[in-house]
Amino acid sequence: MDVDMEGIIQCIKQGDENGVQMQLQQFNKEYAQCFFFDADERERKRQRKLEEFRKNKVRDFADSDSDIDDFGQEDRGLVLRQNLAVVIVRFMRAGVKRSLLRVSLHSLRILTRDKKILGHLVTDSTLLTLAKLAGLTTNDASEEGNDPDSDFYDNIIASLAEAKLLQGCAEEDGGEGEAPDPSEEFPAVDDDSRSVTSGGDLDSNSWFGSHRTSINEMHRGSIHQKALERGRRDRRESKMEGEGDVVEEEEEERGEEALRKEAMKVLCNVVYNSTWAQERFSALRLLSGLIECLSSSVSWSSPSSVQFYELRLMFLITALRPELSTQLKQEGGVPILTAALESCLEVQWKEQYECVLEPAAPLISLEASQRIVEILKILFNITYSTHKQEPSEDDAALYRHLVAILRLCLMRKCLLPEDTDELQGHTVNLLTALPLQCLNVLLTVPLEPESKQSLGVNMDCVHTLLTFMERRLEAGDRVKEKLTPILNLLTESCRAHRETRLYIRKHILPPLRDVSHRPEEGDTVKSRLVRLMTHLDTDLKHCAADLLFVLCKENVRRFVKYTGYGNAAGLLATRGLLGGQRAVSDAQYSSDSDSDTEEYRQMKDRINPVTGRVEAEQSNPMEGMTEEEKEEEAKRLIMLFNKLSKENIIQPMGVDGEGKLVPMTGLEEAKSESEDEAESDKDN
């Protein structure tokens, strides 16, 4: 990393703010798109060597220790970044002009993408400094050390000199000593781990007393941290590249807002990458300030650009810290976020639980759609456990009010199709988290001339959900993550509402006519769902099977008719219905029968119940055999089965009285016991 750290520190010591700003701007320009500092350094070095090779037409001899030397350079780059981050925070705390403060925050945002520097950076004072700049608190950051600025910067320069000296010694020794294997730079760790394994638990006042980080200390402390995973680029910015000049002008006009936004971005990086920062965020009670900021911004006629990052930070802390999710809910998070959602959609009310939905309503803007998605994710974090709870009267009214707005989220369109799909996906996730009895608001909207209907009930929202599921089925990527919520939502809705079940069944399970193909063959919604019934993922296949089973009113015979016994066996075995018993369910289904089509009745006797289709005529394998030969063949097969069973290669199974699969030995014992009991009762 070609950053003149000593030059920056000297400029700060001399009070040369223009020099500091110029050098930090150069750093920001060079590393604006950098997420992997060490990897980027290696790539730059490789490109330089390649250019030299092309220029000289001769490849220089590289000794065996070149990789270790490269690693030493990367180590020093990490030390530089660690010290640069600490210097920037100290510099901002001293009080600088607004333009320089914004440039400094931008540099800090770039540096905090790398979690390896956070162990030395994240302290209570740093968090409070950033929180104050973001408008979350008015408390002044406590000083973390009594050393004056001159001593502080002298110590930093000494730390860098020590690192450079150790690097020179390592080069002279030819890579001997404690230099690590470059292949161990980023050992694999659990993907779910988001913690900084060393440095994340440092005492908030400990580092400034001993901040001379040597190369060897860095090896022992930070080498085992996971490299920052490459995240998706901020779509808010990437989609607005053509409007960059306009955005810059607006930000210049609202300098305070631009500062708050940069500070929020830094806090998002720090909270995401540091478990210790998450814990201190809770201990410092910064959530209360975040709630207050969001509450005040909801009432504004035009939300500021900071609101998105306030919502992003709130999502991160509620997703990573369960106690903060509970706190947000207790402090009125649901009504606050519902009001924010209402503001983003510019909702107009027609009835108590009915929003005005204009056919010619404008498309949801990019900025509004991104804020809405963040709100939906936060609401899911704080309500996901309410699905199985009985809400109070006040909570039920609040959730019905929210569901009425969520109906608007399903029916409205965004500027881009992928944004519409994302918005509908998060809406479905939230609907699955809310109490089922509050979802009837989706169906209570009066019918319009062009409305979809079932038994006089408006099915526009159900049709949208059905179309959304079809798109997810056709996409075929990340099927469990994308399909499980919508399958569960439709299943519960069909179980609770007869009108919904009839409408969805009409589209998914129309009357059978063509039985020449297996149920899982084809591109229909039914075929795709039947294929999912034998998916490797247990949760996904149960969700798909449950939906079809409910559409069949949980009738085993009808379920087998539409899916084939082979596909249905998994769900039937799980529920103990292999014997054809009637499913025990709390749902109240009507007594209407499943009428067969004329085509189905003509082919019914020829359908193979296992495959669910009419099989081609097969030749009789015993044709031409005498009765004695058939008997001998049967005995031979029995002997083979007995042999396989005794060697535990196969285990013969049967269906017991409860419709569950059990070993044949246990079934015979249970049968003999029941016969003995019957005889004893008869004797008595």
Q: pLDDT for 116-148, tens place per residue?
A: 888 878 899 999 999 999 999 887 665 554 455
Region 494-499: mean pLDDT is 94
Summarize the confidence of residues 90-104 as an average pLDDT.
88
Give me the pLDDT at residue 586, please: 67
Q: How far is residue 566's CA from residue 264's CA, in Å, rounded to a whole number?
A: 55
Contacts of 55 (CB under 8 A, 6+ apart): none
**pLDDT at residue 19 greater than cutoff 80:** yes
The pLDDT value given to residue 325: 94
> Of 4-13, 372-381, 552-561, which range is least confident?
4-13
Whether 185 contacts 42, CB under 8 Å: no
- Residue 17 — pLDDT band, cuts 50, 70, 90? confident
pLDDT-wise least confident of 223-237, 430-444, 512-526 = 223-237
The reported pTM is 0.79
Residue 261: per-residue pLDDT: 94
SS3 414: strand
Q: Is 431 left (phi over 0), alpha (psi -120 to 50) or beta?
A: alpha
Answer yes or no: are the C-beta atoms of 513 and 599 closer than 8 Å: yes
**What pLDDT band is residue 163 in, cutting at 50, 70 and 90?**
low
Average pLDDT over the chain reads 80
The pLDDT of residue 61 is 44
Q: What is the mean pLDDT of residues 657-668?
A: 72
pLDDT of residue 397: 96
Helix (H) or strand (E) run with residue 566 in it: helix 565-575
Cβ atoms within 10 A of the Cβ of 386, count?
17
| pLDDT above 60 for 152 | yes
The identity of residue 280, as a single letter, is R
Cα of 603 vs its chain's centroid, Å? 47
The pLDDT value given to residue 675: 63
Residue 454 has which token pair? 């079932």
pLDDT mean over 226-243: 44
* Region 561-568 average pLDDT: 93
Q: Which two tokens stand for residue 488?
A: 């569960």
Residues 6+ apart with CB under 8 A from 461: 407, 410, 411, 442, 443, 445
pLDDT higher than 50, residue 308: yes
What is the number of alpha carbons within 13 Å of residue 668 lying toward its C-beta?
A: 5
Residue 436, number of CB atoms within 10 A of its CB:
16
Residue, of 554 and 59, whose pLDDT is higher: 554
Q: Which residue pairs from 168-173 have beta carbons closer than 8 angstroms and sit at least 24 positions apart in sequence?
A: 170/68, 170/69, 170/72, 170/215, 171/69, 171/72
Q: Looking at residues 570-579, what average pLDDT do you find?
A: 86
Is residue 313 predicted with pLDDT exceeding 50? Answer: yes
Average pLDDT over residues 63-68: 45
**Lowest-confidence pick of 275-284, 442-451, 491-500, 666-675:** 666-675
CA distance linking residue 620 with residue 317, whole number of Å = 68
Separation CA 351–CA 675 (nearest Å): 66
Give the chain's radius of gyration (CA, Å): 33
The more confidently predicted of residues 37 and 346 is 346
Q: Which helix (H) or strand (E) holds 665?
A: helix 664-683
pLDDT-based confidence at 620, cuts 50/70/90?
confident
pLDDT, one tens digit per residue, over 181-230 is 333 333 333 333 333 333 333 333 333 333 333 323 333 333 333 333 44
Give the DSSP H or E segment for 613.
strand 613-614
pLDDT at res. 311:
96
For the chain, percent of residues with pLDDT exceeding 70:
74
Confidence of residue 240 (pLDDT cuts 50, 70, 90): very low
Most confident stretch, 244-258, 388-402, 655-669: 388-402
